[in-house]
Structure 1
Amino acid sequence: MIWNCPLCQQPLTPANNGLRCASQHHFDRAKEGYINLLPVQHKRSKQPGDSAEMMQARRDFLDAGFYQPLQQAVTTLLSNNLPQQKLTILDIGCGEGYYTAAIAKRFADREQREVIGLDVAKVAIRAAAKRYADVAFCVASSHRLPFADASLDAVVRIYAPCKASELTRVLKPGGIMLTVTPGPRHLIQFKSLIYSEVQLHAAEAELLPGMTLQQESQLAYEMRLDGKSATTLLQMTPFAWRAKPAVWEHLAEQGEFSCETDFMLRLWRRD
């Protein structure tokens, strides 16, 4: 089994519509189909992760197709670099499952594949599990991944934080990790509305001990948003906390708001 108990790190096996370890820690499967592997003592707040409003804003924006080029780029990179027929792929910080579901669809013809979506926000995982039945979703911490050592063929990390040591621990030797981070000019038009001095995102790759960077590419394109889509996108971003009411009003009134995307995609391989 690939699942580990988040309390004692022993293997988890199916039991009574859930998972149980040898120490008798039991984790029920919710009616929506996901497993909650985030013990109370590992929570940093009562309801960690995105709120229901933030989750719904993200789902509305993604469903409109504005980030479909990124979704396509992610699934293509994975498909081109995972030739094996038996696969286990983890999407860290999966939110409501937009990219996770696309990955599962892209690999649907493989002989044996398991695609897992993990997020700390239960409201997002509940929504994802209700919508995408062919993905195994779990509520868990990205800093304490509930998986056995060297059990995953690939990890996808789109903006999500995670300890580098955890990534190298759960990936098989030769396994791959795909990261997506903001490029220098990502959403720069939002920044210009919020900050008096606009700074570009750093473009340098992070340091990941135990992994080798094998491929790097940049995806950038312009979006033309109406007022509702522009405010929805702002709600999805960390900029939302800094935006004054005047910024929200300005965006809502726009008939068309042009905004740049700029993504850095990096493919790493476990040494």
Structure 2
Amino acid sequence: MSFICPLCHAPLKVEAKSYRCPHGHQFDKAKEGYVNLLPVQHKRSKDPGDSAEMMLARRAFLEAGHYDALRQAVGEALSKALPEQAEAVLDIGCGEGYYTAWFADIAAARGAQAFGLDVSKTAIRFAAKRYPQAQFCVASSHRLPFADASLDAVIRIYAPCNAGELARVVKTGGVVITVAPGPRHLVQLKGLIYENVLLHETDNETLPGFRRLQQSELGYPMALTGNEAAALLQMTPFAWRARPEVGEQLRRQDIFHCETDFCLRVWVREA
């Protein structure tokens, strides 16, 4: 399985070091192995997505193992949902590939290819360089570069996505696995940023064309070093609102205690 052209939606074929569609649109492979399928007319900014600084912070935090339990839980859900013979699995908003690499091993056991997609070119470059077991692309989650009914599973951890696109690309009987923040997710971190801390509102998401098959909650305390806490701040949207002294305050702490609170859902594509 391969990508479709983001401009005309025709299938892309690999030719040497590029992807080319029958109408002549061509997208070159980067030296790291990924392909950029985000045309300039589909960008909302010059360099969309997370910066290199945010990616490095995310990698440092994730490699410390604090979200391993989440990765394990999503992986188990994927293992249960995938058929014995599958074709393709997609990780939307994959970032630097921490989760995608795990999903790729699960997909490979069923004969499936794993894909990672993110709007950030920096993130995809990091991912492709480190995790050759998956195929990565720079693309918009609102214009997925995949053919209709071509994916057995899509994983979406926090990432925004057009629900109609999910319904278009997932096979009948295929699944979407979503992760959203629960009410108390990172509440202690929020307490350093906001004067009045509000808990996350309960997520009542619906996905047209899908039936919710399962829902579970996962939450646990974390004891972070000062540097880990600062990295966590940097990889979250809170970083845009935090005063510079908040990061310094976190770095000076010996231990920072913080809660996780995740909501996992499995959705099945109906006919």
Q: TM-score range by the shorter chain?
A: over 0.9
Give the SS at the match of 2:78: helix
Q: Counterpart of 2:38?
A: 38
Q: Counterpart of 2:149?
A: 150
Q: Counterpart of 2:259?
A: 260
1:12: how far off?
1.1
More deviation in 2-11 or 176-185? 2-11
Once the two structures are superposed, what CA deviation does each residue of 1:152-197 show, in whole Å capped at 9, x if it has no partner? 0000000001110011011111110000010110000011111111
Q: What amino acid maps onto 1:69 in structure 2?
A: A
Q: What amino acid maps onto 2:191 in structure 1?
A: S
Q: Work out whether 1:198 is the aligned partner of 2:185.
A: no
Give the SS at the match of 1:30: coil
More deviation in 29-38 or 196-205? 196-205
Q: Is the 8 A contact 1:5 1:11 kept in 2?
A: yes
Q: Is the 8 A contact 2:2 2:13 kept in 1?
A: no
Change in CA separation of 1:238 and 1:206 when aligned onto 2, cut-off 3 Å: same
Q: Counterpart of 2:126?
A: 127
Q: Counterpart of 1:24?
A: 24
Q: Work out whether 1:102 is the aligned partner of 2:96.
A: no
Q: Is the 8 A contact 2:86 2:107 kept in 1?
A: no
For 2:250 and 2:203, how far apart are their aligned partners in 1?
31
Once the two structures are superposed, what CA deviation does each residue of 1:140-161 show, in whole Å capped at 9, x if it has no partner? 0111101111110000000001
1:87: how far off?
2.8
For 2:149 and 2:106, how far apart are their aligned partners in 1?
23
Once the two structures are superposed, what CA deviation does each residue of 1:8-44 show, in whole Å capped at 9, x if it has no partner? 1111112232211111101111111111111111111
Q: What amino acid maps onto 1:252 in structure 2?
A: R
Q: What amino acid maps onto 1:204 in structure 2?
A: D
Q: Counterpart of 1:159?
A: 158
| Identical residues among aligned pairs (%) | 62
Q: What amino acid maps onto 1:32 in structure 2?
A: E
For 1:165 and 1:129, how far apart are their aligned partners in 2?
28
Q: Which runs of 5+ in 1 are unaligned?
A: none
**TM-score under structure 1 length normalisation:** 0.97
Give the SS at the match of 2:261: strand
1:2: how far off?
4.5
More deviation in 121-130 or 80-89? 80-89
More deviation in 11-20 or 182-191? 11-20
- What's the C-alpha RMSD, in Å, of the aligned pairs? 1.1
Q: Is the 8 A contact 1:61 1:232 kept in 2?
A: yes
**TM-score under structure 2 length normalisation:** 0.97
For 1:204 and 1:58, how far apart are their aligned partners in 2?
24
Q: What amino acid maps onto 2:98 in structure 1?
A: Y
For 2:10 and 2:87, how far apart are their aligned partners in 1?
22
Q: Counterpart of 1:136?
A: 135
Q: Which runs of 5+ in 2 are unaligned?
A: none
Q: Counterpart of 2:180?
A: 181
Q: What amino acid maps onto 2:248 in structure 1?
A: E
Once the two structures are superposed, what CA deviation does each residue of 1:177-229 show, in whole Å capped at 9, x if it has no partner? 00001011000001111111111112233121111111000000000011100
More deviation in 81-90 or 173-182? 81-90
For 1:134 and 1:247, how far apart are their aligned partners in 2?
38
Q: Is the 8 A contact 1:2 1:151 kept in 2?
A: no
Give the SS at the match of 1:203: coil
Q: Is the 8 A contact 1:94 1:117 kept in 2?
A: yes
For 1:236 and 1:38, how far apart are their aligned partners in 2?
23
Q: Is the 8 A contact 2:150 2:171 kept in 1?
A: yes
For 1:11 and 1:181, how far apart are their aligned partners in 2?
33
**Superposed counterparts of 1:204-219, under 5 Å:** 204-219=203-218
Q: Counterpart of 1:67?
A: 67
For 1:151 and 1:107, how far apart are their aligned partners in 2?
14
Once the two structures are superposed, what CA deviation does each residue of 1:53-112 show, in whole Å capped at 9, x if it has no partner? 0001000111111100001001011001113222300000000000000111233322x2
For 2:109 and 2:178, how far apart are their aligned partners in 1?
24
Give the SS at the match of 2:192: helix
Q: Counterpart of 1:55?
A: 55
